[in-house]
Chains A and B, each alone.
Chain A
Amino acid sequence: MKAVKEMSSFDVEKIRKDFPVLSQTVNGKPLRYLDNAASSQVPNLVIERGAEYLKKEHSNVHRGVHYLSQKATTEYEAAREKVRKFINAKEAKECIFVRGCTEGVNLVANAYGRKFINEGDEIILSQMEHHSNIVPWQMIAEERGAKIRVIPMNEAGELIIDEYENMLNERTKMVAVAHISNSLGTINPLKSMIETAHKFGVPVCVDGAQAVPHIRVDVQDLDADFYVFSGHKMFAPTGSGVCYGKREWLEKMDSYQGGGSMIYTVTFEKTTYAPIPEKFEAGTPAIAPSIGLGAAIDYLNSIDLDAAFAHEHELLEYATEKLSKIEGVKLIGTAKEKASVISFTLENVHPHDIGTILDQEGIAIRAGHHCAQPVMQFYDVPATARASLAFYNTKEDVDVLCDSIQKVIDVFA
């Protein structure tokens, strides 16, 4: 009964009105936006906040004594504080603004890697990582002479934790793992994985890109050393993102990019560096997108977020059940703990063809390898089709998806 009551407090039609993009038609059909894991849509509050900033408040930050520069700085730093509260970081200075999750991982891989990873050391990744949490680590491993080790997963798409625990040793210098898999939807048991790593004194860098728009994240409760995410997957504009790091690590690491803002004094003989977070924010930052990210957090705080997440989870279960009843559909990723992502294949039909036909019905899904080729290799498929949900999706979206998949089957019958 409690669940039913919570659901009733969530009015999806009202929420949908906050997202102007959703009311359009595509190919003559109402848009069914099911590509949220690639990028989510932006509510009016964020659009208007961005416009207001550009109309009335824009200047460079941390530089001028004039009114606009101070205003821009105040708003930019206010957005940082909103981020802190949203992920429950201890201090705002631990939240570095980056241009997206990829830049955040590159920051950690480079700045941490050059300081702490040496020849013969090991970096642990998992089978289900997005390329952005693989390639930066491979690059630094090659540079430092370190080795990559990979946590395997089972057929359902769950990490095999026993193997992970056996992998940790005194040479391990980093564990980099996704909170939620973008291609499978698996929610990893992060808290216990971090606890285990810490027993070996190993820090953990979490790719949180798929988690922040779908579940509550508390970096202190998780005890994550680094937690990285993009704004554009959580209803903010592209070009925004956050690299959270514990102060103790950020202070020990050297800067990753050089330039303005990140210095204390510069002479040709020697440069001294600014404290965190400026130390890692070289050059003029993405001011408008970061303020937009702050507005997206305001938006999430303005709705009943727990009810929104509950609605989304109910949709996931509804879609999973309905899709698995369609003959020829195979779900890829059936972990017990799952969020918002439904990857699937259709017998004798390539995902690309599924994507094109669904598009004609107004449905936006992703077809491809989802920047997770090792996952495709694991399941021995060239690609999958992926429908990914947000709380503004409806049962009708799922129904139209399923009806249209039937049409795909008919075309290729």
Chain B
Amino acid sequence: MSELSDLYQEVILDHNKNPRNFRDIADADKTADGKNPLCGDALRVYVSLENDKVKDVAFKGSGCAISKASASMMTQVIKGKSKQEIEVLFDEFHKMVTGELDIESDENNLGKLKIFAGVLEFPARVKCASLSWHTLHAALNDEQEISTE
């Protein structure tokens, strides 16, 4: 069960239970919908920008613990960051959950997002962890809808 407890760590369970920034933003500058048709996860990401930096970010929708916790922590981490900084994080996060980036030996900016490295042992769950990031990426690039299948 050790891999399982790597996946369902306290922090993740807490974000699942009490997701942060779990609301909508009525006058958001950017929104996008993300769907994983395989499991039915669906979420919408809202972003407000100021001087090219994220002033506010929020999400709504339904999903598993991994996708909800990932979205919740993402909103915490990217607040105040520029589009460029977010692109770097998006790339690193993607590489972490697909095994292309080793959080111990490779330099990175992931900080507390490293908690999602455990998902690597559960290939079926990689898309759950990355759904919110793909949706954010779509919103910032003016795509309205993405699907991870």
Residues of A within 8 A of B (CB): 348-353, 356-357, 360, 367-369, 373, 376, 382-383, 411-412
Contact of B7 with A by CB under 8 A: yes
Chain B CB within 10 A, most for which of A348, A369, A376, A382:
A382
6 shortest interchain CB distances as A-B pairs: A350-B64, A352-B64, A382-B40, A383-B40, A382-B62, A353-B65
Contact of B39 with A by CB under 8 A: yes
Q: Which residues of B contact A367 (CB under 8 A)?
A: 39
Residues of B within 8 A of A (CB): 1, 3-4, 7-8, 13, 16-17, 38-42, 62-66, 68, 122, 124-125, 128
Interface pairs (30), CB distance under 8 Å: A348-B17, A350-B64, A350-B68, A351-B39, A351-B64, A352-B41, A352-B64, A352-B125, A353-B8, A353-B65, A356-B4, A356-B7, A356-B124, A357-B8, A360-B1, A360-B3, A360-B4, A368-B38, A368-B39, A369-B39, A369-B40, A373-B40, A376-B40, A382-B39, A382-B42, A383-B39, A383-B40, A411-B13, A412-B13, A412-B65
Judge whether A350 and B38 touch: CB under 8 Å: no
Bound complex: CA A350 to CA B42 (Å): 12
Bound complex: CA A357 to CA B6 (Å): 12
Q: Which residues of A contact B64 (CB under 8 A)?
A: 350-353
Q: Which of B13, B17, B63 contacts A350, CB < 8 Å?
A: B63
Specify the chain B residue showing the minimal Cβ separation from A357: B4
Bound complex: CA A348 to CA B124 (Å): 21
Bound complex: CA A368 to CA B38 (Å): 7
Q: Which residues of A contact B40 (CB under 8 A)?
A: 368-369, 373, 376, 382-383
Q: Which residues of A contact B125 (CB under 8 A)?
A: 352, 356
Nearest Cβ in chain B — how far from A238, in angstroms? 19
Nearest Cβ in chain A — how far from B117, in angstroms? 16
Nearest Cβ in chain B — how far from A368, in angstroms? 5
User: Other CB < 8 Å A-B pairs besides A352-B41, A356-B7, A357-B8, 8 of them?
Assistant: A349-B65, A350-B63, A350-B64, A352-B39, A356-B4, A368-B38, A369-B40, A411-B8
Q: Which residues of A contact B4 (CB under 8 A)?
A: 356-357, 360
Q: Which residues of B contact A373 (CB under 8 A)?
A: 40
Specify the chain A residue showing the minimal Cβ separation from B13: A412
Nearest Cβ in chain B — how far from A405, in angstroms? 15
Q: Which residues of A contact B68 (CB under 8 A)?
A: 350
Nearest Cβ in chain A — how far from B43, in angstroms? 11
Bound complex: CA A356 to CA B64 (Å): 11
Bound complex: CA A360 to CA B118 (Å): 14
Q: Which residues of A contact B62 (CB under 8 A)?
A: 350, 382
Q: Which residues of B contact A411 (CB under 8 A)?
A: 8, 13
Chain A CB within 10 A, most for which of B7, B39, B62, B128:
B39
Nearest Cβ in chain B — how far from A223, in angstroms? 37
Nearest Cβ in chain B — how far from A153, in angstroms? 20
Bound complex: CA A348 to CA B13 (Å): 11
Bound complex: CA A357 to CA B13 (Å): 14
Q: Which residues of A contact B13 (CB under 8 A)?
A: 411-412
Q: Which of B16, B42, B122 contacts A356, CB < 8 Å?
A: B122
